[in-house]
């Protein structure tokens, strides 16, 4: 009964702020999800084969399920929705439940990114306040800042692509930084072989196809690869810059100061800060709010602001969310669609009440 009461109070907040109920499908095409959402989901989802032989799965995530529904409805309008339901996924920890009860909200298709980020976080915080949970900690980050930083560093293109691609794999990412320090990926034999192939292919018919690609396209990629600097003397310094950036951890009010000091120290272009983090509104909430450049690396589809709200006493996660502007395109949209959302973990919340 208590669980129903606080769910009702949260829903009142959602409705009052203009969110409309939506119920995403429980069953999804698992091949579709894995193909578009990455290998991480493959380890999490619960799959089965239906009577027609299709591989299906129980929705592992209500955000993904909501995005699939948005695309199936061919909606071109802004969707400001909330949902109440269950997500089904493995966690790798036997203590964690497979069935997770969630109460969440999403804003999809809006161009007001900054105000939408604030709307999502503030609605979640008001919901928590409504059910009288007073002592919480808010962790917030912005994963897009790392990509912007890498874009400003003077390092070979292959390293930029590699670091951005594997940002979501902390252990492997650290191994990459170790290799970057010594530039140990250089293989002189492979470089010479690339140049030899490039020379041979220039003599062929440029419209001829190899493995489904025109020779002209292959040569273009080869040319870019060969021109990419193969010797790089700044690897050790670059790895140090990246490691120091990922150690930035401060009260949210001091975010701009910490980031500016970092960019000044390493003589990096300062306007990387886009001021889209909803720091000003959060700093007035009265809660303990910590900004970290290393936060939000565990879910690959985030593209910008990410946050988590947990109980101060036992660090139990209460709610989590963020911006995911690339997810809908990966799920089949012809272009990126702006989206941000968050979900309250009702299982964890019931343990606190």
As beta bridge partners, residue 22 has: none
Question: Domain-by-domain residue ranges, the chain?
Answer: 2-133+340-352, 157-241
Instruction: Report the CATH architecture of 2-133+340-352.
Output: 2-Layer Sandwich (3.30)
Categorize the per-residue pLDDT at 17 as very low, low, confident or very high, splitting at 50, 70 and 90: very high
Mean pLDDT value across residues 249-271: 86
Tokens of 284: 């007035």
DSSP code for 277: S
Residue 1's pLDDT is: 45
Mean pLDDT value across residues 159-179: 90
Distance CA 108, CA 19 (A): 11
Mean pLDDT value across residues 302-327: 89
Neighbour-count burial of 83, counting CB atoms closer than 10 A to its CB (0-12 exposed, 13-18 middle, 19+ buried): buried
Confirm if 279 and 253 have CB atoms less than 8 A apart: yes
As a whole-number percent, the residues of the chain with pLDDT over 90 amount to 35
Average pLDDT, the chain: 83
């Amino acid at each position: 009964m208590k669980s129903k009461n606080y769910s009702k109070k949260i829903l009142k907040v959602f409705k009052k702020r203009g969110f409309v109920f939506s119920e995403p499908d429980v069953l999804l095409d698992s091949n579709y999800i894995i193909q578009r959402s990455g290998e991480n989901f493959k380890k999490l989802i619960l799959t089965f084969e239906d009577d027609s032989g299709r591989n299906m799965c129980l929705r592992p995530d209500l955000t993904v399920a909501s995005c699939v529904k948005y695309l199936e409805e061919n909606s071109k309008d802004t969707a400001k929705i909330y949902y109440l339901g269950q997500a089904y996924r493995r966690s790798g920890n036997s203590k964690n439940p497979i069935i997770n009860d969630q109460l969440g909200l999403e804003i999809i298709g809006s161009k007001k990114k900054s105000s939408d980020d604030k709307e999502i976080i503030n609605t979640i915080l008001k919901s928590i306040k409504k059910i009288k949970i007073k002592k919480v900690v808010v962790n917030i980050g912005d994963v897009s800042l790392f990509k912007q930083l890498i874009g400003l560093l003077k390092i070979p293109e292959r390293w930029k692509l590699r670091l951005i691609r594997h940002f979501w794999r902390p252990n492997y990412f650290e191994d990459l930084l170790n290799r970057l320090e010594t530039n140990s990926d250089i293989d002189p034999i492979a470089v010479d072989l690339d140049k030899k192939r490039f020379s041979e292919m220039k003599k062929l018919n440029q419209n001829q196809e190899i493995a489904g690609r025109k020779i002209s396209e292959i040569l273009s990629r080869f040319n870019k690869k060969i021109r990419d600097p193969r010797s790089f003397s700044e690897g050790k310094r670059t790895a140090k810059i990246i490691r120091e950036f990922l150690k930035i951890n401060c009260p949210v009010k001091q975010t701009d100061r910490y980031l500016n000091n970092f960019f000044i120290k390493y003589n990096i272009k300062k306007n990387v800060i886009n001021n889209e983090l909803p720091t000003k509104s959060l700093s007035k909430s009265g809660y303990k709010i910590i900004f970290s450049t290393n936060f939000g690396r565990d879910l690959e589809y985030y593209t910008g602001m990410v946050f988590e709200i947990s109980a101060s006493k036992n660090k139990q996660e209460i709610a989590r969310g963020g911006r995911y502007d690339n997810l809908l395109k990966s799920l089949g949209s012809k272009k990126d669609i702006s989206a941000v959302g968050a979900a309250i973990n009702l299982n964890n919340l019931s343990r606190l009440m």
